Amino acid sequence: MRRIDGVVGNRHDDPDLDERIAAHDDAGTLERVRIDSGERKKSRLRVETDAGTDLGIVVGNVDLRSGDVLFIDDNGAAVVTFETREAFVVELPAPTEPALAAVAEFGHRVGNQHWDIAVESGTVYVPVDVEKRVLEDVLKPYIPDGAKTGYESVEAELFVGDENASAGEGHEHAHTLDDGHGHEHGDGEHPHSHEHESDGTTSHSHE
């Protein structure tokens, strides 16, 4: 087993490092370590690269990121990648008043279910963590007219929050979309309760 104490750097932050990684990729000497979003927070991790190299990773209190370089030399390199997740994808139409109203309600529904969400360049991604029938029953009535929908495999890192965010801030996009209703819990002034339905969804009542 090869021990890795910390990471060399991240290819997305360092153009020179990225160029070296790309060279190894072209030469066929780049190894990849694919992890899921839960493993990224472990300070000690034993993994196997796609080339079969056994690695013991020790990173302290730093969360692993996609693009982290575990080792690099003249003979090869290893880089972290994230598992893919299936997502329900909504390509939003032009921002008309009815469309914006529908998007706000869409975000409110996502927040009520405590589902993750990501938004990039006018496209909304919701990971498929429940049955597709349930997901569509909850969300499709609130999709704006003219939007395109479908399912795609996307990088799991898409749903990972800011590295410096504290607990409870991981759903910032949901709060943005639902016009402030998100899924914040009661603070004494706005208590609300949760009711779990038989189909796995969650409904809320607010006081």
- The rounded radius of gyration (Å) of the Cα atoms in the chain is 20
* pLDDT digit string, tens, across residues 98-145: 888 888 889 888 888 988 888 888 899 998 889 999 999 999 998 988
* pLDDT digit string, tens, across residues 40-65: 778 898 999 999 999 999 987 778 88
Q: Which residues contact 105 (CB under 8 A, 6 or more apart)?
A: 142, 178
Phi, psi (rounded to 5 degrees) for 56: -110, 115
pLDDT at 182 over 50: no
Q: Which residues contact 107 (CB under 8 A, 6 or more apart)?
A: 117, 174, 176, 177, 178, 179, 181, 182
Asked if 195 and 126 touch (Cβ cutoff 8 Å), the reply is no
Task: Give the model's confidence band at 94: pLDDT under 50 very low, under 70 low, under 90 confident, else very high.
Answer: confident
Q: Which domains does the chain have, with CATH numbers?
A: 2-82 (2.60.260.20), 84-206 (3.30.70.790)
Q: pLDDT exceeding 70 applies to what percent of the chain?
A: 76
